Amino acid sequence: MKLTLSPPTLRQREFLTATARFVAYGGARGGGKSHAVRLKATLLALRYPGISILILRRSYPELYENHIRVMSAELAGAALYRDSDKSLTFLTGSRIKFGYCDGDGDLDQYQGREYDVIFIDEATQFSEYQFRVLCACLRGVNSFPKRFYLTCNPGGPGHEWVKRLFIDRNFREGENPEDYVFIRSTVYDNQPLLDADPGYLDNLKGLPHDLRRAWLYGEWDLFAGQYFSEFSREIHVCAPFRIPAHWRVVRAIDYGLDMLACLWIALDDSGFAYVIRELCAPGLIVSEAARRIHERTYEPIYETVAPPDLKSRQKDTGKSIWELFFDAGIPLVTADNNREGGWLELKEWLKPIPTPDGEGEGARLRIFDTCTELIRCLPALQRDEKNPGDCARYPHEITHVCDALRYFVRSRPRGARVREKASWLKIARDRAIRSSARRAGWR
């Protein structure tokens, strides 16, 4: 039989011909991502008889509307769709399996399965953990290509890991840069859509500023749902400099066995704050965490703030984490753990203000460019879908260092000069009290 497929756009053609192990496509709305997935999967099934392919979306309704419904109709006669196992089987013996992963529990159905090619449509709706588990399914003792294709827009719970791998190209140990390719596509690259629906472009242009930058232009530093949209590397990140000896330096920590996050924050004479150092390390017991904190502390510490939940006693030792830190030489001060209040106060610290010379913008809080985890995680925080006043607690791996910063701002810190004045006032008051006591004959 004769099978007619829609021709690809120029950007889709780049996607179809890419041969890297991990290929990501998209970046903005209307770039033809789902069509590119369907076309590539079909061509692979026809080119390699017997190949096994998996196409994933976050939910089944999305999977059905974007792929199952369309492909079962387009490939009628060339492939048979079976609803019992959600698969398309071609006359060549190739098979396309449709799946969804609405949560980590759905990963169980893919454990032990082998696929030659995997597609994740809208990858930023998946967590990095889900992506890594699915990567383990990409295997097989045959000559078929082993590739992982992803489509994506800025935003969503998986925004940060997709951005790290394909946009920032900030690779970790074991990740080969040559394996990762990103093909950027916007609505301007999808002429068939513009011809069929000219109003769609106007809809994107009419969006609020932040949404327009993310959905129309595919800008990854600003995306829908971002909590701290005011964060700007130009305003809030600076080069390190020597901290004057009289500045107050405080530490703020968020501790769990999964992650220790510690920030060193210096306060200048005017109450402006500079995050000068960070420590983010997983899997540390309290004694190890304390040792690492001591090793990275090079100046007198005014106080160390921490959340009140560290005061809960441990079943095995009968001591609280609070007491264990104290025993290790790190006394803690309780920070207010009000989430919404903390995030709103942090927004005030980040709010752009005129510089003293009036020629630019600054902020009360700035971050040394060596604090790469805080710079990475803070703009990645998203609004809680059920409570817009709060930040989402997911993905959890980006929240620890941000929580530490929240504890700092909720501790209502004061600058060096303000504290210095308060100290002199206290001395004068104490002297007056002692003088009055002597006159009254007290000792």
155 plus 271 within the same structural domain: no
- For residues 255 and 249, the answer to whether their CB atoms sit within 8 Å is no
Asked if 57 and 100 count as a contact pair (C-beta separation under 8 A), the reply is yes
Q: Which residue has the tokens 């327009």?
A: 212
Tokens of 163: 């951005």
CB atoms closer than 10 angstroms to residue 101: 23
pLDDT of residue 222: 63
CB contact at 8 A, 346 and 389: no
Same domain, 151 and 299: no
222: CB partners within 8 A, 6+ apart? 154, 210, 213, 214, 229
Say whether both 64 and 132 belong to one domain.
yes
d(CA 40, CA 34): 10
Looking at the fold, whether 158 and 294 belong to one and the same domain comes out as: no
Neighbours of 164 (CB within 10 A): 17
What does the alpha-carbon distance between residue 103 and residue 97 come to, in Å, rounded to a whole number? 19
Assigned domain for 274 exists = yes
The alpha carbon of residue 172 and the mean position of all alpha carbons in its chain are separated, in whole angstroms, by 16
Position 170 in a domain: yes
pLDDT at 434: 44
Q: What is the pLDDT of residue 316?
A: 65
CATH number of the domain that residue 274 is part of? 3.30.420.280
- Nearest of 363, 390, 361, 394 to residue 380 by alpha carbon: 394
pLDDT value at residue 380: 84
303 and 348 share one domain: yes
Which two three-digit tokens encode residue 271? 């109450």
Contact 37, 200 (CB under 8 A): no
Distance in angstroms (rounded) separating the CA atoms of residues 207 and 316: 55
Tell me the pairing of strands 180-185 and 22-27.
Answer: parallel
441 falls within a domain: no
Residues 207 and 301 in one domain: no
Q: Which residues pair with 138 in a beta bridge?
A: 115
Which of these three, 215, 245, 276, is where a domain ends?
215
Residues 183 and 260 in one domain: no
The pLDDT of residue 122:
94
Amino acid identity of residue 14, one-letter, is: E
Bridge-based pairing of strands 303-306 and 333-334 is parallel
Task: Examine the domain organization and report whether 200 and 285 are in the same domain.
Answer: no
pLDDT at 413: 64
Amino acid 133: pLDDT? 94
Task: Look at residue 431 and tell me if it is in a domain.
Answer: no
Does one domain contain both 172 and 287?
no
| Structural domain includes residue 310 | yes
Nearest to 287 by CA among 257, 322, 328, 326: 328
- Gyration radius of the chain over CA positions: 28
Who contacts 426 (Cβ-Cβ below 8 Å, separation ≥6)?
Answer: none
Whether residue 266 is contained in a domain is answered as yes
Query: Do 324 and 181 fall into the same domain?
Result: no
Query: What tokens appear for 130 in the block?
Result: 């889900």
pLDDT of residue 224: 60
What is the total count of domains within the chain?
2
Contact 391, 339 (CB under 8 A): yes
As averages over each run of 10 residues, the pLDDT of the chain (443 residues) reads: 82 94 91 93 96 96 95 93 96 95 89 94 92 94 94 85 91 94 90 86 78 75 75 91 95 94 95 96 95 97 95 78 95 94 94 75 93 91 86 85 96 57 41 42 40
114 burial (CB, 10 Å; 0-12 / 13-18 / 19+) is middle
Query: If we measure between CA atoms, which residue out of 361, 242, 251 comes closest to residue 305?
Result: 251
Strands (E), 282-339: 303-306, 333-334
The answer to whether position 359 is within a domain reads yes
Q: Same domain, yes or no, for 152 and 285? A: no
CATH code assigned at 177: 3.40.50.300
Cβ neighbours of residue 236 closer than 8 Å, sequence gap 6 or more: 350, 363, 365, 366, 367
Per DSSP bridges, beta strands 79-82 and 87-90 are antiparallel
Asked if residue 267 and residue 392 are part of one domain, the reply reads yes
Q: Are the C-beta atoms of 381 and 226 separated by less than 8 Å?
A: yes
pTM: 0.61
CA 320 to chain centre: 31
Residue 384 lies in a domain: yes
Domain of residue 370, residue span: 233-416
What is the C-alpha separation between 287 and 327, in angstroms, rounded?
9
